[in-house]
Structure 1
Amino acid sequence: MADIKGILFDKDGTLVDFEATWFAIGDQMAMEAAGGDRIRANELMQAAGYDYASKGFVPDSVFAAGTNADIVELWYPDADDADRLSHVRHFDRITAEQGALQAVALPGCIETISTLHRSGLRLGVCTNDSTSGAEKTLAALGIAQMFDAAYGYDAVANPKPAPDTITAFLDLTGLKASEIAVVGDNRHDLVMARAGGAGLAVGVLSGTGTRETLAPIADVILDSIADLPGYLTGRA
């Protein structure tokens, strides 16, 4: 692992089981936005990226890769700025609280993070969830103490796929961009890695992304982060 000294992880689909954690929460939000109309709520879910035929989230969709601000913009197109901000804050509270309560760690996640932490790597989380949501989820999983920082979309001026979080992580750790890896399950994670000059862009197939969507931009594609320690050791 000599060339990589820090890792920025996406959260949902990378550390946390996306489908198991987020469908019920997204559906709750959609029902609220639809005023309790089941048919309308299903339409909102589909618009945001849920495919009822495959019973899964579409790669790189608003649900899979966007922020609560993106969801509000999609679901409340006629809201004025004040109402839109109010909706975003409300959804931030729901996702922070319910996301932590219902978070399901992906197989091998906790063990892998422990292994990487013990090896001396600096670890961070970069998510388009809120910072509060990220921090609460890491605490709920019992791994918060292993991370130097968690960055939500509201922690930086420009969230993923912009490279702002990489800059913040480098400022915090003192590392060079070439010394960090970015790990995620969607293209916006890897686009951020490229934009920020990260030394390694790792795609994982444990979330909503597919080999076809990730391959054009990833340096390597792994089944999940459980394969990451072995892969990094093999690079050393």
Structure 2
Amino acid sequence: MAIRGILFDKDGTLVDFHATWSAVAEALAHEAAGGDRVRAATLLAAVGYDAEAGVFQADSVLAAGTNADVVALWYPALAAQARQQMIVRFDRLTASQGAAAAVAVPGCAQAIEALHAAGFRLGVATNDSTGGAERTLVSLGIAQMFDAAYGYDAVAAPKPAPDTVYAFCDLTGLKPSEIAMVGDNRHDLDMARAAGAGLAIGVLSGTGTRQSLAGADVILDSIAALPDWLARR
């Protein structure tokens, strides 16, 4: 069946993961560590970020998880209510700071413009918050070309569960087999497979590698190559 809709992961797919999130992650970890730099580095390592090298690990909590996952690891002693309040705070801070720091992957805007002009229905599927996704699209100047943005807090179960694909299908009237999912982590590919999406496309512009994305139908350098690749299918 022809592909008529495309869901994009956000971080590492639309935006440069390292340029956008390194400083934000380090600031949040330093706060969680009470200003102890050694402790902060340990916390960052636990969620998949090497502060010294400035590198995010593929499929790690920071690369593929949710703010709730990070809070659970960094603040394990919090009671349920306090933990929920911390998650809300993380959502608010990452939404504002992530959008403010957002650096687009080279060729992102041109690729989205070409796909929109070709008639594809476009959406975002991220394990960041919905507010963070929406504010980032505005910051990048491409929000008007997207039908919807879904964060981990917009569905019952976030990636790698299939819920976001189903929500996008409900909105657009498309079938899962008409949807392509594009992302830089295994969570993206696993969601596509779980939902019965028509294509699972990996990109190397984020934290994923050819090895970690080996289950994709195709691996592209970035979404800049996506319009031409789809046109040749």
TM-score by length of 1: 0.97
Query: The residue matched to 2:138 in structure 1 has which SS?
Result: helix
Shift of 1:35: 1.0
Q: In structure 2, how many angstroms separate the alpha carbons of the residues matched to 1:93 and 1:29?
A: 12
Shift of 1:53: 5.6
Question: Which residue number corresponds to residue 199 of structure 1?
Answer: 198
Unaligned runs of 5+ in 1: none
Shift of 1:55: 2.7
Question: Which residue number corresponds to residue 151 of structure 1?
Answer: 150
Question: Which residue number corresponds to residue 182 of structure 1?
Answer: 181
Q: In structure 1, how many angstroms separate the alpha carbons of the residues matched to 2:53 and 2:99?
A: 26
Deviations 1:97-121 (A, max 9, x none): 0011000000000000000000110
Query: The residue matched to 1:183 in structure 2 has which SS?
Result: strand
Deviations 1:170-199 (A, max 9, x none): 000000111110000000000000000000
Task: Give the alignment's Cα RMSD to 1 decimal.
Answer: 0.9
Q: In structure 2, how many angstroms separate the alpha carbons of the residues matched to 1:218 and 1:198?
A: 12
Question: Which residue number corresponds to residue 41 of structure 2?
Answer: 42
Asked if 1:227 corresponds to 2:225, the answer is yes
Q: In structure 2, how many angstroms separate the alpha carbons of the residues matched to 1:137 and 1:51?
A: 24
TM-score by length of 2: 0.98
Q: In structure 2, how many angstroms separate the alpha carbons of the residues matched to 1:140 and 1:223?
A: 23
Asked if 1:95 corresponds to 2:94, the answer is yes
Number of residues paired by the alignment? 233
Shift of 1:51: 2.2
Unaligned runs of 5+ in 2: none
Task: Report runs of 4+ in structure 1 exceeding 4 Å deviation.
Answer: none
Deviations 1:4-53 (A, max 9, x none): 10000000000000000001000111011111111111110111101246
Asked if 1:142 corresponds to 2:165, the answer is no
Question: Which residue number corresponds to residue 69 of structure 2?
Answer: 70
Q: In structure 2, how many angstroms separate the alpha carbons of the residues matched to 1:9 and 1:52?
A: 27
Q: In structure 1, how many angstroms separate the alpha carbons of the residues matched to 2:59 and 2:67?
A: 14
Percent sequence identity over matched residues?
68
